[in-house]
Amino acid sequence: MFTIRQCWAATLLLGAVTGVQAADIYRWVDRQGRMHLSDVVPDEYKDSAKRIDSRQFELTPEQKREAEERAAREKANVPSLPEPQVTGAPSGSAPVSPPPVVKRPVERVTTSTDCTTWWRLFRESQECFGPFHTVGGGIKPEAFEQCNEVPSPELKCGPYRD
């Protein structure tokens, strides 16, 4: 019979051995023609999935050391944000709030806005929202904190002309 110590030793040894082995990685192409790499293959692709030797992706100790050194250098080169300075505030008073965000475009469309100005404001609004578009075609919510939405002037002014 095994003692409790022998069982623990066997468990630890088994855990160490399985931790050293690399996980199997499989590659397959789905119905849409997209290639996938994963350690889990859906049942419908098990026949077409090919095992990839994952050891080819493992880093040598030297490569790991170089990557860690490079990451440390890059982290050291990132400028840190300065701490906000509160000047002229008496001690014990409420902290000074940051200035409000000025949305773009600053100017708004009114009933008296001419078509040339409206088109300019519309283009500025589209440029402001541009970086906030998602892959699915949506707009990230934080865009509305920085950008003013300007409706298209096309219905009132007609198509844009240079």
List, for residues 90-129, the tens digit of each pLDDT value: 556 666 777 777 788 888 888 889 999 999 999 999 999 9
Q: Which of 11-15, 58-62, 93-97, 143-147 has the highest mean pLDDT?
A: 143-147
**Closest by alpha carbon to 139, among 157, 126, 124, 152?**
126
pTM: 0.40
Residues whose CB is less than 8 angstroms from the CB of residue 120 and which lie 6 or more positions away in sequence, other chains included:
105
Strands 25-29 and 35-38: antiparallel
List, for residues 106-117, the tens digit of each pLDDT value: 888 888 899 999
Q: Which amino acid is at 28?
A: W
Higher pLDDT, residue 80 or 76 = 76
Give domain limits for the chain. Answer: 22-74, 115-157
Q: Per-residue pLDDT averaged across 33-57, rounded?
A: 85
